[in-house]
Amino acid sequence: MGPLIPNGVIPAEWDSIIAILIGIAFGFVLEASGFSSSRKLAGQFYGYDFAVLKVFFTAALVSVIGVYYMDYLGYLDVTQLYVHPFYLWGAIIGGIIMGVGFVAAGFCPGTSLCAVAIGKIDAIVYVGGIMVGVFIFSEMYTIFEPIYNGYFYGNVTLEDSLGINPYWFVFIFSMIAIVAFIAADMVRKRVKKVFY
Amino acid sequence: MVKKKIAKVLAFRYTILAVILILLAGGLVLLPKYQKHEGIKPEELLSNTISSERYMTTDRLAHILINQDPSFILIDVRDEKSFVNYTLPNAINIPLKNLFNEENIGYLNQNQYDVVLFSNDHFYADQAWILCNRLGYKNMRVLKGGINEWYATIINPLKPADNMPATDFDLYATRKAASMFFGVVYPEQFKVEAPKIVKEAPKKVITIEKKKKAPAEGGC
């Protein structure tokens, strides 16, 4: 039966509308759980608030477990899902830039737009910075292109590249997540409380 | 009292959630695995099988062959002996038992051509079609009635009786023309025109009167 759009259960023309609805819901949840505050996001790196780690790890876990149960029961075909293409050096360099930006400004691109929506000035500056970065990248595209399009390893998953049984991987992944949650709590209790 | 109890339970809320997650993830590992079938679902196969969309009439095929439509591949699923004996023009021989040999998959599993399967009747071709359909191959057709029907309608069309509608006569004319294309010769094509009997003009007898010898005159 699923995925719904590729299998024609929902016509493909609806995907933009669905994307807008999901986007609104995502933005609402981000803002409602306080992710539009750069202090909360930065708390992750200073050890006084691990909400980001917990929320995103839990989201990944719930969805991966749900997807594999639905695949098992025949409601969803995992092989038809979109797998993100893997550009090795593009991912490494992009990850570093994104990480530095995250620590320095206290936003990731999604939460920065959330924060712009509620009128945070630092977020507006941050989004301006994103635009400048996009502009520089576009203008110098010919220089970056070999990295941008090179080192392409296909749409691989861990299952393909490491040959792990996905069910065991989900189990190990959830154990890691729970250990990370406990460790995060222990760190938070030791760090001096910051009021923000 | 109730509030206190709830608070007691809620104090462990994170532990409870963690246990639920581990149980669910562990359940994935422990679930009995089953073989997933490649190809389309059984329900889909069934609905495709009972639909007669796959059949192509011999008239349509004749039309395609005469117009030399390049988007069709004809596949004869009978054995090689029958293939050598007689087959349709430009057909490829893939006997049913060799259907999924590696060199034949290229003809079957593709998106560019329409594949028309045929056999003597359509039963073997139908078997081949079901196997291919099961694997999700696209654009597969079956020649309805197979070569027998081809012979009965195109090569040797039945002349309609006098009291049949005009459409039957049109169809007959079309089929007859098609059969001529495929090399059938009709007696009327060779109707020898009755030799014209050229009436020879009666010979005019022109009598030439012999000049009468003039009687000797005079004399001695």
| pTM beyond 0.80 | no
- The DSSP annotation for A147-158 comes to HHHSSB--S--H
Q: What is the pLDDT of residue A17?
A: 93
Chain A residues with CB under 8 Å of B31 CB are 72, 167
Q: Given A62, A168, A174, which is nearest B22 (Cβ)?
A: A174
- More confident call, A116 vs B205: A116
Q: Is there a contact between B31 and A177 if contact means CB atoms under 8 Å apart?
A: no
Task: State CA A130 to chain mean position distance.
Answer: 17
Give the confidence band of B191 by pLDDT, cuts at 50, 70, 90: low
pLDDT band at B220 (very low <50, low <70, confident <90, very high): low
Contact assignment for B28 to A178 by CB distance below 8 Å: no
Contacts of A154 (CB under 8 A, 6+ apart): A85, A86
The verdict on a CB contact (< 8 Å) between B22 and A175 is yes
- What ipTM score was computed for the predicted complex, to two decimals? 0.76
| All residues at 6 or more sequence positions from B119 whose CB lies less than 8 Å from its CB, including other chains | B76, B77, B78, B96, B125, B128, B146, B147
Residue numbers in B near A171 (CB within 8 A): 25-26, 28-29
Residue of B nearest to A68 (CA): B28
Contact of A177 with chain B, judged by CB distance below 8 Å, is answered with yes
Taking an 8 Å cut-off on Cβ atoms, the answer to whether A181 and B14 are in contact is yes
Which residues in B lie closer than 8 A to residue A65 (C-beta atoms)?
21, 24-25, 28
Residue B192 confidence (pLDDT): 66
Q: Do A167 and B31 touch (CB under 8 A)?
A: yes
Chain segment B89-119, per-residue pLDDT in tens = 888 899 888 888 888 888 888 888 899 999 9
**CATH class, B42-154 region:** alpha beta
| DSSP designation for B113 | S
Give the mean pLDDT of chain B. 85
Identify all chain A residues contacting B25, using CB atoms and an 8 Å cutoff: 61, 65, 170-171, 173-175
Token look-up 């069910």 returns: A167
Q: Give pLDDT tens digits for A178-188.
A: 999 999 989 88
Pick the residue with more confidence: B215 or B173? B173
Per cent of chain B over pLDDT 70 is 92
Q: Which residues of B touch A174 (CB under 8 A)?
A: 21-22, 24-25
* Placement of tokens 């630092």 in the chain: A122
Phi, psi for residue A141 in degrees, rounded to 5: -55, -40
Higher confidence at residue A171 or residue B42?
Answer: A171
Task: Kindly give the parts of chain A with pLDDT less than 50.
Answer: none
Residues of A in contact with B29 (CB under 8 A): 167-168, 170-171
Of B14, B18, B28, which is closest to A171 when you measure between CB atoms? Answer: B28
> Chain A: nearest CA to B31, how far in angstroms?
9
Distance CA B176, CA B171 (A): 8
pLDDT on residue A178: 92
Tell me which residue of B174, B197, B211, B28 sits closest to A174, measured CA to CA: B28
